[in-house]
Amino acid sequence: MTGTRPGIQKQFEEADETTMTYTLTITGMNCGHCANAVREALMGVPGVSAAEVDLALGSATVETDDTVTAEALIAAVVEEGYGASTNV
């Protein structure tokens, strides 16, 4: 059965799987400027469609396509000078 109608099957899978949401714990942010820097770092990762950073909670919610790994998101934040981890 698999493979007989790959086009149709793929469309349904993609509808479900192309958007992923990561929640990261961010450390080292002190002000809105920091939150903005983290947000821009996340938005700079190819495949990220939306990023929201909550300064008070020290967290980030990132929407991506399915090519993006948590490691890539963490690396972008660390490169910006902040700490990041995921609890998946």
Instruction: Report the residue number, 34 or 75, with the smaller CB distance to Cu ion.
Output: 34
Indicate whether 27 belongs to the interface with Cu ion (CB under 5 A).
no
Give the strand pairing for 20-27 and 83-86: antiparallel
Q: Return the residue of 2, 4, 21, 30 that touches Cu ion, per CB under 5 A.
A: 30
Window contacting Cu ion (CB under 5 A); options: 29-37, 41-49, 56-64, 69-77: 29-37
Q: Give the span between the Cα atoms of 62 and 84, in whole angstroms.
A: 12
Name the E strands within the chain. Answer: 20-27, 48-54, 59-64, 83-86
Indicate whether 33 belongs to the interface with Cu ion (CB under 5 A).
yes
